[in-house]
Amino acid sequence: MNPIFPRWCDRCGLLALAALLGGCTALQPPRVEAPSMHVLVAAPAARAAPVRRELVLEVAMPHAWPGFDTPQMAYVRQPYDLDYYANNRWADTPARMLGPLLASALEQSGSFRAVVQMPTAVLADLRIETELIRLQQNFGTPPSRVEIVVRVQVIDVRGRRILGSRLFEESEPAASEDAYGGVVAANRALARLLERVVAYCIEQSGTL
């Protein structure tokens, strides 16, 4: 028997095994990169508290308009054409993150006896209802800008009437033309918007 033959067979076996393993690897599904998660953590600048009112204020869960009721991060390059980042998302829908931020800002103002979030068994004097109309990064003109629009209603719960309704808009240029630049700009714009919303709610509560 030729002594070279067994070694040749061994080499063939190794090559066949390598080919088989390579084929199994090729059949595996491609690795999907986990998306980066971002949060809204904006807080308005601290201000001296005005006259404290013995009112209980409840903050309803904000609603969002179609296209923005999603954890996907929205951006536009031209009017009426909404798109979303593929590998970047909000940790929750922006509307759900907005509710606790607004409640915290109202509580820190020191203007109310208590601030609660719905649902709650506490009987409130006022209710704040909000709609997130738009939160997007606009690449229409450089640099890109984050635009946020929120509608706020202040409701007299006991009297069953609307004390006031107003649209609030803020925008902030992004420091970088990417999702993270949009996140930073969104938090800056939201901080200013919350400050204005808190002042408006305090003003309207004085009409009771």
Helix (H, G, I), strand (E, B) or coil at 12: helix
Residue type, position 186, single letter: A
Whether 101 contacts 43, CB under 8 Å: yes
Task: Tell me if 1 is assigned to some domain.
Answer: no
Domain count, the chain: 1
The answer to whether position 159 is within a domain reads yes
pLDDT at 177 over 50: yes
pTM exceeding 0.85: no
CA distances from 131 to 8, 74, 84, 98, 153 (A): 75, 17, 20, 10, 9
Paired with 196 in beta bridges are none
Q: 27-53, pLDDT tens digit by residue?
A: 555 565 678 999 999 877 767 666 788
CATH of the domain at 82: 3.40.50.10610
Is 114 within the bounds of a domain?
yes
Amino acid letter, residue 119:
P
Q: Give me the residues paired with residue 64 across strands.
A: 132
- Report the mean per-residue pLDDT for the chain: 88
Handedness of CA 184, 178, 33, 68 (dihedral sign): positive
Bridge partners (DSSP) of residue 168 are 150
Residue 12 lies in a domain: no
What confidence tens digit (pLDDT) does each residue in 89-139 have?
A: 999 999 999 999 999 999 999 999 999 999 888 899 999 999 999 999 999
Check residue 8 and give its pLDDT.
45
In angstroms, the CA 68 to CA 79 distance is 16
Domain contains 130: yes
Residue 183 lies in a domain: yes
Backbone angles phi, psi at 136, to 5 degrees: -150, 155
SS3 category, 50: coil
By residue range, what is the domain housing residue 72? Answer: 36-205
DSSP code, position 110:
T
Between CA 80 and CA 62 the distance in angstroms is: 24
Per-residue pLDDT at 122: 86
